[in-house]
């Protein structure tokens, strides 16, 4: 034991810190240890994220062959010139080795970014092959540590880099941060490619290799540019005919492989073979390195020492060379967006446009969604973001900032649907609430390189649907990015010490590391076999600990994603963890009632911290753990109403902090390590002296359980509670300074900004709220999540927040922005909608809203129910509306006067489970949770008869099992009830008698649909089938067998078609007369929540919890329309008439209603 303690207390070698605001050194770091031009160092700083550990020069060429990727690269280069860049088109060439003849040839090419799952193991790529072909290691300029990632400096000419410095290439090779760029751009590197440079590790027939330091010494800083260039040519031993070509190399981006197509244009040569011959001459002089693909195509890399020397010889750069290269690429193309990509130009056009001073051309590209989307799929998010940054480093154009925000907010939709061009519709939809110049608007509506007319044709050809209103999250608003990828709710978010990455842990048993500079998931940490509960990181960023309900914790190397150790020993779920500052020691707390001290070097348990026990002797779970800043003491909080202080070195309990009368669920330690605050389910927080174990303050006031406590500067504390409030406390006095009221649900988490002026709280009401800690007022409400918001973290300066939710997403918010919503929304999820012509009514937990679907305008809001609205039906040709709530209250509304005409009393007893009415508004049928079925005269709001009374189970007369739903014919004469007893019953509503019992299903019935004339009914059951019945005879006309449970169904207006949605997220279209399946439609990735036919039965619309909506052609199964929302969709319907302008209306889990225009 003594040796173990000595082992983890032994000082570690300090890691070097980057100067870029906390960036860590190592393989991902691109600041302090990146190569300088004067050094012959070609290791790739970003290869850890894309290709595994960074490689040294001695490792060049030592890679195994991968025939699949060889083939993909070969296909890529055989199809050069195709303007529709695919994921295989890239200039990045890597992992080459020497052939038998000693000539470099490709042995292993670009590998997709693999995510680590356990040490040395890889799983499915996070990105496609093309998306990680972005970025080589770049020179870093030293930046001021005082500049925070969130610091915003006002635009001014004095603070902008000069055009000359940009044209010289000095800025284009630097990772210096833009003081006017967005959060995602702060510290964003110019590593446009993440592939390494092993291809160029050896020179072909090289005879004159020089060291970079030798070549760079004594550069002629005091001479004129021409003299300096001449001296460099002499030093390199270049003949006269190569000197002018040598000068042109100064425009080349650093560490960028160059195809011969590019060099031919740069040097103004006639053919690529001449360019290759010239490159070989330069290679012999040590200016270049050249390597060949297996298909014989050659690529070159300018050595860093020569690029450095050229930039020094001509520090003002040469715009003419940039411009000449651009002109040769552009040729007869009307815009640069129309230039075919050769694996180089799309990647680097931004670099050359800035160098040539053509900012307007670059702005046009950044306003071209089609080009951005091609670049996104070909080279990845970072490459596209780098172009925005290049522009913003020179100009503080507000429009470009908005374009960047719209792009970043749309990236997750693009990456999740790479086969569908969605960026154009997404960006347009996110720029509707902002003012843009005419030129930018024109570019946004055009197809790349075409006219406005071509743009309209392109829009008609694209399946993406455009929203009529700003219903998507708007650029310039509070929300900046949505991080999608988890398939289970997120339980915790954590910002890494460097401030660049966010870690999310989820019920899907994985953790994800997100690069906040670009919004991409860069690591997927898998291996746990149960939902993840918590996460902790060392202050130096070296290791990460995830805890899980599988009874283990895992130690991860944060840069590469390697699982270093699995900490096994607990006998129940591990709820929490804490790590010491240097990542050598961890404490875990478990539901088994113990804490454990772990040596992270050996993964051995040093101590078991036992003592949390109920008075009965049963173990009580440990819910929170914290370490003092010096790492010597640990505090655990448990179900036994106590917190305990432990000596980490000995494992001895030094104090029991007793006094609470409920579970202690959270603990926070003050910055000086002398005191701690505990939060308890008894509704109080307590301040303790850790050394003495005494209670100094009891903070009372909450009327519900406390769920967490957070500490801030100036002796401030924040507690959040089940009583829907948070409270700010002064620890010096123990008094409550502010009570934060406004949430509509229990509070789950909170955070205080380091400045102490504002705080954030999250809640089960799906909201996060920003509070003024000085005045106690609400500053902003962060709307967008569609599930309980469980966790929040603030950046160092408190400008940005990241929230994690049960809706499986994390969201990034700019707290200095203002809300950009311009249309009314529901305050909760949209439960359903009904349509009549161009009028739509959506209803939810709070109210019903009447909409004009042609414009998307809110016409009226209907309020009056005491409980949430669950059902609504239009009657009398849409002139009146019937609404019903779960408490049984029914209201009749006149939509012309927007008044309630009639109200029925609520049903006594059980809540309403189902409600259906006839279209003439005469009859309504309610099903209660006690399975009673009642028929109502809706004119008098009086009970007409009871088809089944409470408690009845006589199978000869009524259902013998629970009743799930009821359907009513349009004329009000028939009703069909669906039951768990595997039957449906057809009822005569005039007499109240059962006409037929529909027998055939082998499991309970869940849902159904009736034809327009009432002659046929479709029932769906848990037995993976739907059945078609004749209501007149009770006969089964067809059995529609599916491979999964049918969860939703619809019958076409013609009565000849039916659609079923199944639990495996697919849709089947059936011919009812024959019972034959016509189409099997796949594409949704989550539960299908809406299904509706158009009035002519030609198309069908479906909505899903995966945020997508699809319009399908019934005859072919083709997708006619596609839309991605910000949150899951709950319902959908068609409005309008075919051929006269149709709109798709969709409700969402966040309460937003979307109006999508269908092209004629």
Least reliable range by pLDDT among 369-378, 613-622, 993-1002: 613-622
Work out the pLDDT band at 375, boundaries 50, 70, 90: very high
What does the pLDDT look like over 1144-1156, one tens digit per residue?
A: 999 999 899 999 9
Q: Is the pLDDT of residue 96 over 60?
A: no
> Can you give the pLDDT at residue 1123?
97
Extents of the domains making up the chain = 47-117+124-140+157-400
Torsion angle in degrees (nearest 10) through CA of 127, 129, 131, 133: 130
Work out the pLDDT band at 214, boundaries 50, 70, 90: low
Q: Is the pLDDT of residue 201 over 90?
A: no
Chain-centre distance for alpha carbon 230: 53
Please state, rounded to an integer, the average pLDDT across all residues of the chain.
81
Q: What is the CA radius of gyration of the chain?
A: 33
Work out the pLDDT band at 231, boundaries 50, 70, 90: confident
Q: What is the DSSP code string of 262-317?
A: HHHHHTT-S-HHHHHHHHHHHHHTTSEEEEE-TTS-EEEEE-HHHHHHHHHHSTT-
> Can you give the pLDDT at residue 745?
95
- The whole-angstrom separation of Cα 439 and Cα 173 is 30
> Can you give the pLDDT at residue 461?
53
Torsion angle in degrees (nearest 10) through CA of 1106, 1112, 1117, 1120: -110
Work out the pLDDT band at 102, boundaries 50, 70, 90: very low
Residue with the larger pLDDT of the pair 983 and 448: 983
Please name which of 1, 14, 119 lies closest in space to residue 582, comparing C-alpha atoms: 14
Q: Is the pLDDT of residue 441 over 80?
A: no
Are residues 841 and 852 in contact, defined by beta-carbon separation less than 8 angstroms? no
> Can you give the pLDDT at residue 868?
85
> Can you give the pLDDT at residue 1152?
93
Are residues 821 and 474 in contact, defined by beta-carbon separation less than 8 angstroms? yes
| Whole-structure pTM value | 0.79
Are residues 596 and 567 in contact, defined by beta-carbon separation less than 8 angstroms? yes
Residue with the larger pLDDT of the pair 1105 and 159: 1105
Q: Is the pLDDT of residue 362 over 90?
A: yes
> Can you give the pLDDT at residue 825?
81
Q: Is the pLDDT of residue 440 over 50?
A: yes
Q: Is the pLDDT of residue 366 over 80?
A: yes
Q: Give percent of the chain with pLDDT exceeding 90.
A: 63
Q: Residue 137 carries which DSSP code? A: -
- The whole-angstrom separation of Cα 12 and Cα 91 is 41
Question: Is 406 strand, coil or helix?
Answer: helix
> Can you give the pLDDT at residue 867?
83
Q: Is the pLDDT of residue 934 over 80?
A: yes
């Amino acid at each position: 034991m003594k040796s173990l303690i000595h082992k983890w207390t032994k000082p570690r070698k300090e890691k070097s810190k980057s100067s870029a605001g906390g960036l860590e050194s190592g393989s991902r770091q691109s600041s302090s240890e990146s190569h300088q031009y004067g050094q012959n160092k070609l290791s790739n700083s970003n290869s850890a994220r894309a290709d595994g550990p960074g490689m040294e020069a001695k490792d060049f060429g030592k890679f195994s062959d991968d025939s699949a990727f060889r083939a993909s690269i070969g296909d890529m280069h055989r199809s050069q010139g195709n303007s529709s860049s695919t994921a295989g088109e890239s200039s990045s060439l890597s992992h080459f080795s020497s052939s038998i003849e000693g000539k470099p040839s490709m042995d292993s090419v670009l590998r997709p970014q693999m995510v680590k799952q356990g040490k040395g193991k890889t799983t499915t790529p996070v990105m496609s092959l093309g998306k990680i072909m972005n970025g080589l290691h770049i020179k870093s300029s030293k930046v001021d540590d005082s500049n925070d990632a969130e610091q915003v400096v006002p635009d001014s000419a004095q603070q902008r880099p000069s055009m000359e410095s940009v044209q010289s290439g000095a800025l284009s090779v630097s990772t210096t941060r833009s003081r006017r760029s967005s959060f995602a751009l702060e510290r964003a590197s110019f590593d446009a490619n993440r592939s390494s440079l092993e291809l160029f590790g050896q020179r072909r027939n090289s005879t004159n290799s020089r060291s970079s330091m030798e070549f760079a010494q004594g550069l002629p800083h005091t001479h004129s540019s021409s003299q300096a260039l001449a001296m460099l040519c002499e030093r390199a031993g270049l003949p006269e005919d190569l000197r002018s070509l040598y000068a042109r190399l100064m425009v080349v981006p650093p560490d960028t492989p160059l195809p011969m197509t590019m060099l031919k244009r740069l040097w103004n040569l006639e053919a690529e073979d001449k360019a290759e011959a010239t490159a070989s001459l330069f290679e012999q002089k040590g200016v270049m390195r050249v390597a060949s693909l297996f298909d014989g195509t050659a690529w070159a890399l300018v050595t860093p020492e020569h690029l450095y020397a050229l930039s020094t010889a001509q520090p003002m750069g040469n715009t003419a060379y940039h411009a000449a290269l651009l002109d040769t690429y552009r040729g007869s193309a009307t815009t640069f967006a129309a230039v075919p990509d050769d694996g180089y130009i799309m990647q680097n056009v931004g670099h050359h446009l800035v160098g040539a001073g053509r900012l307007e051309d670059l702005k046009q590209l950044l306003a071209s969604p089609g080009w951005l989307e091609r670049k996104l799929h070909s080279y990845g998010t970072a490459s596209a973001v780098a172009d925005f940054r290049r522009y913003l480093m020179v100009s503080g154009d507000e429009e470009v900032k908005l374009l960047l925000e719209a792009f970043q907010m749309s990236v997750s939709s693009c990456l999740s649907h790479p086969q569908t061009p969605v960026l154009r519709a997404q960006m347009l939809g996110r720029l509707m609430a902002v003012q843009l110049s005419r030129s930018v608007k024109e570019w946004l509506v055009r197809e790349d390189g075409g006219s406005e007319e071509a743009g309209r044709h392109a829009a008609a050809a694209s399946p993406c649907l455009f929203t009529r209103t700003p219903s998507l999250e708007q650029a310039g608003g509070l929300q900046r990015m949505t991080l999608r990828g988890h398939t289970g709710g997120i339980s915790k978010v954590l910002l890494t010490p460097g401030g660049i990455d966010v870690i999310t842990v989820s019920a899907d048993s994985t953790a994800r590391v997100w690069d906040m500079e670009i919004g991409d998931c860069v690591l997927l940490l898998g291996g746990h076999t149960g939902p993840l509960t918590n996460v902790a990181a060392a202050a130096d960023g070296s290791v990460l600990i995830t805890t899980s309900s599988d009874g283990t914790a895992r130690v991860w190397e944060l840069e590469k994603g390697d699982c270093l150790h699995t900490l096994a020993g607990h006998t129940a779920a591990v709820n929490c963890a804490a790590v010491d500052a240097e990542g050598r020691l961890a404490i875990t707390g478990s539901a088994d009632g113990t804490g454990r001290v772990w040596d992270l070097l050996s993964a051995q348990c040093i101590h078991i911290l036992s003592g949390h026990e109920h008075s009965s002797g049963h173990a009580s779970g440990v819910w929170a753990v914290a370490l003092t800043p010096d790492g010597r003491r640990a505090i655990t909080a448990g179900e036994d109403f106590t917190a305990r202080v432990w000596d980490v070195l000995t494992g001895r309990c030094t104090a029991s902090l007793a006094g609470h009368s409920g579970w202690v669920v959270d603990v926070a330690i003050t910055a000086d390590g002398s005191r701690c605050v505990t939060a308890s389910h008894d509704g109080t927080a307590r301040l303790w002296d850790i050394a003495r174990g005494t209670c100094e303050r009891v903070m009372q006031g909450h009327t519900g359980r406390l769920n967490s406590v957070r500490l801030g500067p100036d002796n401030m504390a924040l507690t959040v509670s089940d009583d829907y409030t948070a409270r700010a406390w002064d620890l010096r006095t123990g008094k409550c300074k502010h009570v934060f009221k406004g949430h509509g649900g229990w509070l789950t988490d909170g955070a205080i900004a380091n400045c102490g002026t504002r705080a954030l709280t999250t809640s089960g009401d799906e909201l996060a709220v920003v509070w003024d800690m000085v005045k106690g007022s609400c500053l902003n409400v962060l709307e967008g999540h569609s599930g309980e918001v469980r966790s929040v973290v603030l950046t160092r300066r408190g400008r940005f927040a990241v929230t994690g939710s049960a809706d499986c997403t994390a969201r990034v918010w700019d707290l200095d922005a203002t809300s950009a919503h311009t249309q009314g929304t529901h305050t909760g999820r949209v439960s359903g909608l009904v349509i009549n012509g161009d009028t739509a009514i959506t209803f939810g937990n709070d109210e019903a809203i009447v909409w004009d679907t042609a414009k998307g305008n809110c016409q009226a809001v209907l309020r009056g129910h005491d409980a949430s609205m669950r059902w609504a039906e239009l009657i009398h040709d849409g002139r009146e509306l019937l609404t019903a709530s779960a408490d049984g209250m029914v209201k009749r509304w006149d939509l012309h006067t927007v008044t309630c005409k009639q109200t029925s009393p609520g049903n006594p007893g059980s809540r309403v489970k189902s409600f259906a009415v006839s279209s003439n508004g005469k009859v309504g049928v309610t099903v209660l949770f006690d399975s009673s079925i009642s028929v109502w005269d809706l004119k008098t709001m009086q009970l007409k008869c009871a088809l089944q009374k409470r408690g009845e189970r006589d199978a000869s007369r009524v259902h013998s099992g629970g009743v799930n739903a009821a359907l009513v014919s349009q004329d009000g004469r028939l009703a069909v009830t669906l039951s768990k007893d595997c039957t449906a019953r057809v009822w005569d509503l005039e007499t109240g008698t059962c006409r037929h019992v529909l027998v055939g299903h082998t499991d309970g019935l869940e849902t159904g649909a009736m034809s327009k004339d009432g002659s046929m009914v479709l029932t769906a059951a848990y037995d993976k089938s739907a059945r078609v019945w004749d209501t007149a005879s009770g006969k089964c006309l067809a059995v529609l067998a599916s491979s999964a449970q049918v969860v939703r169904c619809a019958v076409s207006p013609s009565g000849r078609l039916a659609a079923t949605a199944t639990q495996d997220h697919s849709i089947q279209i059936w011919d009812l007369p024959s019972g034959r399946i016509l189409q099997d439609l796949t594409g949704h990735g989550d539960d299908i929540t809406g299904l509706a036919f158009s009035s002519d039965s030609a198309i069908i619309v479906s909505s899903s919890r995966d945020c997508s909506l699809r319009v399908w052609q019934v005859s072919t199964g083709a997708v006619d329309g596609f839309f991605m929302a910000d949150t899951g969709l709950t319902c959908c319907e068609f409005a309008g008439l075919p051929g006269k302008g149709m709109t798709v209306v969709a409700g969402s889990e966040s309460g937003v209603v979307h109006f999508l225009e269908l092209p004629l």
